[in-house]
A and B are shown apart, each in its own frame.
Chain A
Amino acid sequence: MSETEWTPDQPIVSIKDVHKSFGDLEVLKGVSLDVMKGEVICIIGPSGSGKSTLIRCINALNDIQAGSIQVEGQEVNAPGLDKLALRKKVGMVFQQYNLFPHKTALENVMMAPLLVLKEPEDEVEKRARALVKKVRLEGKEDNYPGELSGGQQQRVAIARSLAMNPDVMLFDEVTAALDPETVKEVLVTIKDLAAEGMTCILVTHEMGFAREIADHIYFTDRGVIVEHGPPKTFFKAAKDPRTREFLSQIL
């Protein structure tokens, strides 16, 4: 496995001709895309088009059968992959928040830095408190996930992921399980992050949000990227009939 030296002028995430099957079902049929440092990209498309699978492959929660995924030059599709090194670079937020229900909000944020990075507790706590504040949950530090609303839980999940100081954040339909009124507070948090220069890859159904925040939008259908472009051209002048049909149903 040759680790090529990665420099910030190269794509931070580089996906080339990725194929992924679950048994006989091929969900990714040759997907390629590049993300530059600080870029925000949104992946949209109908359910079952493989968009969640794609971002789960980026941090090796799913393996791929063919192709290449590189994160800061580290090949994800390599035997003997250093998963820990990869996961320190890539943070992930899930649709169902997946917080640890037996830990308070603050403990959720502190857990991985303590166990995985083995940092001193006082430093971790300081950073965790700052992160909880950053996701606008001051005063909720000692609440358990079960005592928080969906939107609040999702923001704890974002803080928990940020506590590992990742270079890339993956968001897998993070507002899909939320009440409409709490969607906004989560989107605001993501917007803050993007504004600070965090590289974000989002799978989302929030078209308005995608249009506002994304540098680049990818539309996937049946395992391939059908069309992509910056939001302005993408939403106004979609060329492919499949994209147009999808957009007409959603917008």
Chain B
Amino acid sequence: MLDAFQEFFRELAQTNPKWNFIYLYDPVQTERVLTGLWMTIKLSVVCVVLSVVIGVVGAWLQGSPIRWLRMFVQGYIQFFRNTPPLVQLLFFYFALGQFTPTYSPDGWLEVPIISNVGWAILSLSFFAGAFNVEIFRSGIEAVPDSTKEAADALGMNRLQIYRYVVLPLAFRVSLPSLNNNLVNLVKTTTQAIVIAVPELLYQLVSIYNDYSTAQNACMVLMFIVYIVLVGILVMGMNKWERNMRIPGYGQN
């Protein structure tokens, strides 16, 4: 069965040299695609989680009574929102990467403590996190002061009010915009190719550099994978949105 499948695509490549689905019959290329895909998934999941954490913490700090903390968050947002993520990746890896300490596992090689994957995670998470701060802030501002005041009058402290009253309500307001931003983030992970993170795009480009007839087939796969990947994310987010819906509150 598998043999017949591989044979079919091997023959297709012979008869139609423009459609060489090499990753479907050459196990070495299949392996490259799968490791690339796995890296893309890891990168996406870690960055999504980190960026949401950054968003929640940043929005909390934005409401801080300490002025320099608010200014710090504002500066962070301006920096990451107003510069292209591609430039950020390059800057983080090539500029900042020079100043981070290195370690030597074997006494010869100098390895930086933050790898290119590490820089990609940091840079992409902070990039999307900057938008998430703004998204959560709009949600937080939608929570009426009177609701917070009621919690205050019941003796809750600032952290409890944020954790148990403001955030759950703000989250519901923010979800649609958060959804958009996370979709963008997953797609932006492809830009990690510029610092040689071996994610899916990197692997597919490598494949068609090695086998130029595989170019179209690689492009097609790229689109399919992202449609599916983002589709899963959006489905999950929509389900979450539905689960968080409160009877009698907002649109039902």
Contact = CB atoms under 8 A, between A and B. Distances in A.
Nearest to A116: B155
Nearest to A144: B247
A94 B155 contact: no
B151 interface: yes
Contact of B160 (A83, A92, A115, A143): A115
Contact of B246 (A84, A96, A146): A146
Contacts of B146: 94, 96, 98
B155 A147 contact: no
Contact of A115 (B164, B169, B246): B164
A160 interface: yes
B155 A84 contact: yes
A135 interface: no
Nearest to B150: A98
B165 to A, nearest CB: 6
A192 to B, nearest CB: 21
B96 interface: no
Contacts of B154: 87, 111-112, 116, 160-161, 164
Contact of A147 (B147, B149, B151, B248): B248
A59 to B, nearest CB: 6
Interface string B144-187: 10110111111111001000110011001000000000000000
Contacts of B149: 61, 94, 98
Contacts of B249: 101-102, 144-146
Contacts, number: 73
Contacts of A116: 154-156, 160
B152 A115 contact: no
Contact of B165 (A94, A100, A164): A100
A222 interface: no
Contact of A146 (B151, B164, B169, B248): B248
B155 A112 contact: yes
Contact of B153 (A61, A100, A143, A145): A61
Given A111-B164, A144-B248, A147-B248, A100 B155 contact: no
Interface in A84-136: 84, 87-88, 90-92, 94, 96, 98-102, 111-112, 115-116
11 contacts: A61-B149, A83-B155, A94-B149, A112-B155, A116-B154, A116-B155, A143-B247, A144-B247, A144-B248, A145-B248, A146-B246
Interface of A: 59, 61, 83-84, 87-88, 90-92, 94, 96, 98-102, 111-112, 115-116, 143-148, 157, 160-161, 164
